[in-house]
């Protein structure tokens, strides 16, 4: 990791840049795959499975027997862990439910809003180097609470055509029955356009590499909604002298191991903290099975020394991290100064891993600075908010002249007439 001491504010934009790819070349490749899936359906899906995942698929959909086999094979202790996490995530997301409230804005004029589930949603679950079965909990649970009628899940299989046991167990645990052995760009295309086997959906959720992210953005342009723009995972840690350097190092490495294009950031007012964390990172890195991946991510990463906590918070809000850990004595006070972040973890005993798996909050979060304008996935992500109004005869008489005057001022005479004809009736 590069250490930067007391950077000038005018240099922050360059300092805080994320790793980038040639998106023009990327989108061209992705668009060609999407077009093939749209035109050829299952045939294209199977062809790309052979090309990219080295698997010849006879049946794209996971069978009942495969669900049963996964349930029988999975370690009981892992099953229990998944069910414990499920319980916490359900509890947190159920608390987000809202009751509809009728507001009388003036006598005889009633307005209200009702939450309605998105009818058909698609979940993409990476299954390559890291089978992210935890993401099924994060997406499948709010989909179920919202009441989405159809939930489709796509995830790649291995070369033998087998889907990870934990992925299948978790899907079944949250009530998802339609699971398809499709990965990458072709999975996004299948859910966006539909194939002979895969139903099309209205909104697609889930993380993925830059190819999957580009595919989501392209189908979004064509009319399929997506959860958010997302890219490689990232974490920023704000630490002072009260932090435990080994903890901070572990948090940095937990995100660095996601992929070579991930990024981690340490911000502190103490040079000693940087030295201690750096030593702990070097030690822990060698013990990681994914140390080569993490090492590449660390090449994109920074340890930044700033003059005070006010500057630290300004810099972190400019960065807008996906995950923000505040390992400081005044963690709660500093948390109130957070403006841009996906999810915040306070104190020495709140690792980002807790939110990734089991504390209850959602781990599908905005990356690449999108936390400046986007929230993470929540129950609301699976709902539409439809507004209603009901005016009585007396209500229209009360508000009618206001509408007529405003419509006339905008030159929209038919709008005015829709009120006038009723008032004169």
Cβ neighbour number for residue 42 with a 10 Å cutoff: 17
Instruction: Pick the closest to residue 347 from 242, 250, 272 (CA basis).
Output: 242
* Residue found under tokens 């794209």: 60
Q: Binding site annotation covers 255?
A: yes
Distance of CA 341 to the CA centre of its chain: 13
Q: Tell me which DSSP letter residue 61 carries.
A: B
CA distance 5 to 10: 14
Reported as half-sphere exposure (CB side, CA atoms, 13 A), residue 425 has a value of: 12
Q: Binding site annotation covers 233?
A: yes
Q: Binding site annotation covers 363?
A: no
DSSP 3-state of 50: helix
Query: Could you list the active site residues?
Result: 322-323
Q: Binding site annotation covers 93?
A: no
CB 110 within 8 A of CB 202: no
Q: Binding site annotation covers 356?
A: yes
Q: Binding site annotation covers 398?
A: no
Q: Binding site annotation covers 48?
A: no
Q: Binding site annotation covers 323?
A: yes
Q: Binding site annotation covers 415?
A: yes
Cβ neighbour number for residue 98 with a 10 Å cutoff: 12
Q: Binding site annotation covers 286?
A: no
- CA dihedral of residues 162, 201, 145, 380 (deg, nearest 10): 120
Residues tagged in the binding site annotation for substrate: 233, 255, 258, 323, 356, 410, 415
Residues tagged in the binding site annotation for NAD(+): 124, 186, 209
Residues tagged in the binding site annotation for Zn(2+): 255, 258, 356, 415
């Amino acid at each position: 990791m590069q250490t930067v001491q007391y950077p000038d504010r005018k240099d922050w934009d360059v300092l805080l840049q994320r790793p980038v790819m040639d998106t023009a070349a990327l989108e061209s490749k992705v668009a060609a795959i999407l077009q093939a899936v749209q035109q050829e359906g299952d045939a294209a899906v199977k062809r790309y499975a052979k090309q990219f995942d080295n698997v010849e698929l006879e049946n794209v959909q996971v069978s009942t027997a495969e669900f049963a086999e996964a349930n029988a094979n999975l370690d009981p202790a892992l099953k229990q862990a998944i069910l414990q996490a499920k319980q916490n995530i359900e509890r947190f997301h159920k608390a987000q439910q809202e009751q509809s409230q009728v507001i009388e804005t003036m006598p005889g004029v009633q307005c209200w809003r009702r939450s309605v589930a998105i009818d058909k949603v698609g979940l993409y679950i990476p299954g390559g180097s890291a089978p992210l079965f935890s993401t099924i909990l994060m997406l499948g649970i709010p989909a179920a609470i919202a009441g989405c009628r159809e939930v489709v899940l796509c995830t790649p299989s291995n070369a033998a055509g087998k889907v990870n046991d934990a992925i299948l167990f978790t899907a079944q645990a949250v009530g998802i029955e339609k699971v398809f052995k499709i990965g990458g760009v072709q999975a996004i295309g299948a859910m966006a356009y539909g194939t002979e086997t895969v139903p099309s959906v209205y909104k697609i959720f889930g993380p993925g590499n830059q190819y999957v992210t580009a595919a989501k953005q392209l189908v979004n342009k064509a009319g399929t909604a997506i959860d958010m723009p997302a890219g490689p995972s990232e974490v920023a840690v704000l630490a002072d002298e009260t932090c435990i350097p080994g903890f901070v190092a572990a948090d940095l490495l937990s995100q660095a191991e996601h992929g070579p294009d991930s990024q981690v950031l340490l911000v502190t007012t103490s040079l000693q903290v940087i030295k201690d964390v750096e030593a702990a990172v070097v030690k822990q890195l060698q013990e990681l099975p994914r140390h080569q991946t993490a090492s590449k991510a660390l090449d994109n990463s920074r340890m930044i020394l700033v003059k005070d906590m006010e500057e630290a918070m300004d810099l972190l809000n400019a960065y807008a991290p996906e995950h923000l850990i505040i390992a400081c004595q005044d963690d709660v006070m500093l948390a109130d100064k957070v403006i841009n972040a996906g999810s915040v973890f306070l104190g020495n005993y709140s690792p980002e891993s807790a939110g990734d798996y089991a504390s209850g909050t959602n781990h599908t979060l905005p990356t690449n600075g999108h936390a400046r304008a986007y929230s993470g996935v929540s129950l609301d992500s699976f709902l539409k908010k439809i507004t209603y109004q009901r005016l009585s005869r007396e209500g229209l008489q009360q508000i009618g002249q206001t509408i007529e005057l405003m419509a006339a001022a905008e030159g929209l005479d038919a709008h005015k007439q829709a009120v006038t004809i009723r008032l004169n009736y």
